[in-house]
Amino acid sequence: MDLENQKRVKDFADEYGAENLVVVLGAAEGEAAGLAAETVTAGDPTFAGPLTGVQLGLTVYHVCEPEMKEEFDEAVYDEQVSMMEMVLDVDDIVSEMSSIRDEFCKYL
C-alpha cells in the first residue's frame, strides 16, 4: 500500500472511527493482499509510511472473498471482477486474508 493511501486510511479512521471502516482490497496475489491487510490492521510492516507503528485493527477483506462477493449486485460483480477472479488464486488470497483478520482485526 503506497504512502498516500496509508495517509487516506489513517485520516478516515481518525475522522469516522476505525470501528466504522471496512477496507476492501483487490490485489492480484495473496502475499500482496496480505501486506496491504497487515498495513491497515497491525501497522506498516515496511516501516515507511504514515501507518508505521499504528495499529488500526481495521476490518479488511479482498473483493474476491465470499463475504464480499455476496454484498455486490451479481451483474456488477460479473462485469467488474469475475474475469480477474478466473486467473487469481482465490484460495491463497482467502487464506492470507483470513489469517490477517484472525490475528489483527479488532472490529469483526
* pLDDT at residue 29, as a whole number: 96
Triad 12, 105, 48: Cα angle to 5° = 60
Write down the residue that cell numbers 499504528 correspond to: 54
Mean pLDDT of the 90-97 span = 97
pLDDT digits (tens, 9 = 90+) for 3-28: 999 999 999 999 999 999 999 999 99
* pLDDT at residue 108, as a whole number: 84
Q: Is 69 exposed, middle or buried (0-12, 13-18, 19+ CB in 10 A)?
A: middle
pLDDT digits (tens, 9 = 90+) for 95-107: 999 999 999 999 9
Report percent pLDDT > 70 for the chain.
100
pLDDT at 44 over 90: yes
Domain interval for residue 32: 3-104
* Total number of domains in the chain: 1
Q: CA 107 to CA 52: how far, in whole Å?
A: 20
